Amino acid sequence: MRPFDWVMASILGLTGGISLLCFGVFIATGIDLWLKRTRMFRRWAFAVALLWFNIVVWGSVVKTIINW
């Protein structure tokens, strides 16, 4: 794996893990603030995943155009 993949996977895992942790706290306590934080971190996790996919796809497109 490239260093970029490691960085993106780490960020994705971190935001996804924090989201799950916040959801567990919400389930345990019932405080709505934790549900709000869960949704925020979940959105960031999806944004990171989409950014990662987008950069990988467009990187291969650019590489193909350069080596045509």
Neighbours of 17 (CB within 10 A): 12
- Listed by start position, the domains of the chain span 3-62
User: Residue 26 corresponds to which amino acid?
Assistant: F
- pTM, two decimal places: 0.84
The tens digit of pLDDT for each residue in 15-67 reads 999 999 999 999 999 999 999 999 999 999 999 999 999 999 999 999 999 99
Q: What sign does the CA torsion over 55, 60, 63, 68 have?
A: negative
